[in-house]
């Protein structure tokens, strides 16, 4: 059984990409076959696993717009068991180009159906918006992980996200679930973090992962080396917590 998980929050900088790359790499390190899907025009997941976007022949844009088969876009990474459908800046045009397309919300779902059986997990890194690319992701997904940064206004904007999830459940994908809520970038030296944790737990209750991602400078360095934390610094706190998260997510199969 394979599971498709979208990593979504329309706020930028909350840890979607860091979580996609390192949760995916963590699962792969635990022996799972994982496909990352980069559907953010910024392509940070793509460069984050060491792919030079200038060398990408076919990307997620070609799947959504040009009917290219997904297997023609899939690339391997240096992490065994971790593959990716890359994104390039070309994808920035897709939002507008999809408007006039028939069943535009279903493009990603249809494409992933063709490769789903080859993977245990497919992880979709969503862009920082609730537009058609995120809708495609939520429509294709079995569940969604919501990363929340341990900061002031942590819960701000979440009602819009949850509304979008409900709309997708109602109209496009009735079986979409909330997989879990992930607290990210906790600064253990401040009381603020503790307050945010309590606030988020009050709101999402048992949906909040036991694993909380602390601030760890190695996590922010790894992407510039084109590596997940698992290969960049396997002994770092960042690698430890993302492996822990991978185990936790797998345990909820
Ligand atoms: P998003 O994809 O939601 O925009 P990112 O994953 O790109 O967020 O994270 C935003 C920035 O914060 C990036 O520069 C990233 O390297 C950094 N970052 C993310 N998580 C951590 C962490 N736990 N510790 C330190 N830096 C982090
Ligand atoms: Mg991102």
CA gap 94, 82 in Å, rounded: 26
Question: What average pLDDT score do residues 225-247 get?
Answer: 98
Counting ligand 1 atoms within 8 A of each CB, the residue from 6, 9, 11, 13 with the most, and so the one to mutate, is 13
CB 139 within 8 A of CB 106: yes
Question: What average pLDDT score do residues 218-245 get?
Answer: 98
* Token pair in block for residue 12: 């930028």
Instruction: Specify the pLDDT at position 61.
Output: 97
> Separation of 81 CA from ligand 2 center, angstroms?
22
89: helix, coil or strand? Answer: helix
Question: What average pLDDT score do residues 125-129 get?
Answer: 97
Tell me which residue of 133, 136, 134, 147 sits closest to 18, measured CA to CA.
Answer: 147
- Range 3-251 has CATH code 3.40.50.300: yes
> Separation of 149 CA from ligand 1 center, angstroms?
9
Q: Point out the ligand nearest to the CA of residue 236.
A: 1
The two beta strands, 177-184 and 143-149, are: parallel
What ranges do the domains of the chain cover? 3-251
CA gap 161, 9 in Å, rounded: 7
Q: What is the pLDDT of residues 151-175, one digit of tens each?
A: 988 888 999 999 999 999 999 999 9
Tell me which residue of 196, 42, 60, 75 sits closest to 140, measured CA to CA.
Answer: 60
> Separation of 10 CA from ligand 2 center, angstroms?
10
Instruction: Specify the pLDDT at position 170.
Output: 97
Give the gyration radius of the chain's Cα atoms: 17
Instruction: Specify the pLDDT at position 234.
Output: 97
Residues with CB under 5 A from ligand 2 (ion): 16-17, 44
114: number of Cβ within 10 Å: 12
The yes/no answer to whether this complex scores an ipTM above 0.95 is yes
The two beta strands, 82-85 and 75-76, are: antiparallel
Predicted confidence (pLDDT) at residue 252 exceeds the cutoff of 80: yes
Q: What is the pLDDT of residues 48-63, one digit of tens each?
A: 999 999 999 999 999 9
pTM: 0.97
CA gap 209, 220 in Å, rounded: 21
Confidence bin at 250 (pLDDT 50/70/90):
very high
Tell me which residue of 126, 131, 109 sits closest to 9, measured CA to CA.
Answer: 126
Instruction: Specify the pLDDT at position 188.
Output: 81
């Amino acid at each position: 059984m394979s599971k498709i998980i979208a990593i979504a929050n329309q706020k930028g900088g909350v840890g979607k990409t860091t979580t996609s790359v390192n949760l995916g790499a963590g699962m792969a390190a635990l022996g799972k076959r994982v496909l990352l899907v980069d559907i953010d025009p910024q392509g940070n997941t793509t460069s984050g696993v060491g792919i030079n976007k200038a060398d990408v022949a076919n990307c997620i844009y070609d799947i959504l717009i040009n009917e290219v088969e997904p297997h023609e876009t899939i690339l391997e990474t240096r992490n065994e068991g971790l593959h990716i459908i890359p994104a390039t800046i070309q994808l920035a045009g897709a939002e507008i180009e999809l408007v006039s397309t028939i069943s535009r919300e279903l493009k990603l779902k249809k494409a992933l159906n063709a490769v789903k059986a080859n993977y245990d997990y497919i992880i979709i890194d969503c862009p920082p918006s609730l537009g058609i690319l995120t809708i495609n992701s939520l429509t294709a997904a079995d569940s969604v992980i919501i990363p929340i940064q341990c900061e002031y206004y942590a819960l701000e904007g979440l009602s819009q996200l949850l509304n979008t999830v409900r709309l997708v459940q109602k109209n496009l994908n009735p079986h979409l679930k909330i997989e879990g809520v992930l607290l990210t970038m906790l600064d253990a030296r401040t009381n603020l973090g503790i307050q945010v944790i309590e606030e988020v737990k009050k709101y999402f209750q048992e949906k909040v992962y036991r694993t909380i991602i602390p601030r760890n400078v190695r996590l922010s360095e790894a992407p510039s080396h084109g590596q997940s934390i698992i290969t960049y610094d396997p002994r770092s706190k960042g690698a430890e917590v993302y492996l822990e998260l991978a185990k936790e997510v797998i345990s909820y199969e």
